[in-house]
Amino acid sequence: MAMTDLPIMKRYIRTCRDGWDQGWHERNGGNLTYRLTKAEVDSMRTFFNDKPGEWVNMGVTGANLAGEYFIATGSGKFFRNVDIDPEDSLCVVEINDKGDSWRIVWGLVNGGRPTSEFPTHFMNHSVRCAATNGACRVIYHAHTPNLIALTYVLPLTDRDFSRVLWQSATECPVVFPGGVGVVPWMVPGGAEIAMATCEKMKEYDAAVWAHHGLFVSGPDFDTTFGLMHTIEKAAQIYVLAMSCGQGIRQTISDDGLRAIAHDFGVKIKEEFLD
């Protein structure tokens, strides 16, 4: 048995492949992190390096994640290559007892560090973990082309994006009844965008990054990948409809959105409805 034969590693690696297959990960675009359970960490310990790496400060603090372990994609690594060389592309990091630094305990065998968006992933984990009583384990960032296109033409508000996406496919209000947050364009990779994103993640399980991509969160890979897929597909449908050249002639009414939420037993964000 190798590290990469562990069920959790197999599911992680498969999710990277799925994202590549969707066309969301040009070059090194996108990143994925998973917060391991105690049992999963124990199943990995025999594979951890004898000597862990140096502690690296993140510039942000998530005290509720002190001592946790994460699987992460490496910065500059290509999703396309994860399944053929996971030891080169991925790492497991341990968080220190203050919740402000990481160190590598497995992977990135040819050198490197976790994704440059690790501060954003980490702060999203911190707020989503708190908001879901520990259920949230996955944070996923992808460069979803149709959703990015919409950030050039729609007002950059939570309300505008949530409404357009809900109206673009009947399943949407069921899959993300809470809507999506929108973060204005910012320089990626640092503490500032991490804090702006985690402010949105206190309220939403998905945050659009203007002119860049999407962050989603969830309890497992299927749900999280499914949320990314549903939002991007809704954006694609809106782009296709607008591409027909006559504008939107009819759409799902606000009472229709309320009726879906009622029948499917979910709580739609009422302040976004007229």
Residue whose token pair is 């549903």: 230
Q: Which is nearer to Zn ion, 173 or 213 (CB)?
A: 213
Choose the contact partner of 168 out of Zn ion, ligand 13P, none; CB within 5 to 8 A by kind.
none
Helix (H) or strand (E) holding 69: strand 69-73
Instruction: Please state, in angstroms and rounded to a whole number, the distance separating the CA atoms of residues 222 and 216.
Output: 12
Choose the contact partner of 167 out of ligand 13P, Zn ion, none; CB within 5 to 8 A by kind.
none
Site string for Zn ion, 187-216 (x = CB under 5 A): --------------------------x---
Which of 117, 203, 270, 271 is the catalytic position?
117
State phi, psi for 204 to the nearest 5 degrees. Answer: -120, 160
Helix (H) or strand (E) holding 57: strand 56-57
Residue pair 88/109 in contact by the 8 Å Cβ criterion: yes
Choose the contact partner of 96 out of ligand 13P, Zn ion, none; CB within 5 to 8 A by kind.
none
Could you give the 3-state DSSP secondary structure of residue 251? coil
Choose the contact partner of 94 out of ligand 13P, Zn ion, none; CB within 5 to 8 A by kind.
none
Catalytic residue at 26? no
Instruction: Please state, in angstroms and rounded to a whole number, the distance separating the CA atoms of residues 34 and 1.
Output: 21
Question: Minimal distance in Å, beta carbon 143 to ligand 13P?
Answer: 6
Question: Minimal distance in Å, beta carbon 118 to ligand 13P?
Answer: 8
Question: Minimal distance in Å, beta carbon 215 to Zn ion?
Answer: 9
Question: Minimal distance in Å, beta carbon 143 to Zn ion?
Answer: 6
Which residues form the interface with ligand 13P (CB under 6 A)?
28-31, 73, 75-76, 115-117, 141, 188
Residue whose token pair is 């919409």: 150
Alpha helices in the chain (DSSP H): 7-22, 38-44, 79-82, 86-89, 118-131, 145-150, 158-167, 172-175, 191-201, 221-243, 254-264
Instruction: Please state, in angstroms and rounded to a whole number, the distance separating the CA atoms of residues 70 and 102.
Output: 9
Q: Please compute, for residue 126, the number of CA atoms within 13 A of its CA located in the half-sphere on the CB side.
A: 24
Q: Which is nearer to ligand 13P, 186 or 252 (CB)?
A: 186
Q: Which is nearer to ligand 13P, 53 or 188 (CB)?
A: 188
Q: Which is nearer to Zn ion, 107 or 213 (CB)?
A: 213
Q: Which is nearer to Zn ion, 44 or 216 (CB)?
A: 216
Question: Minimal distance in Å, beta carbon 222 to ligand 13P?
Answer: 22
Helix (H) or strand (E) holding 218: strand 213-218
Choose the contact partner of 224 out of ligand 13P, Zn ion, none; CB within 5 to 8 A by kind.
none
Interface with Zn ion (CB under 5 A): 213
Catalytic residue numbers, as ranges: 117
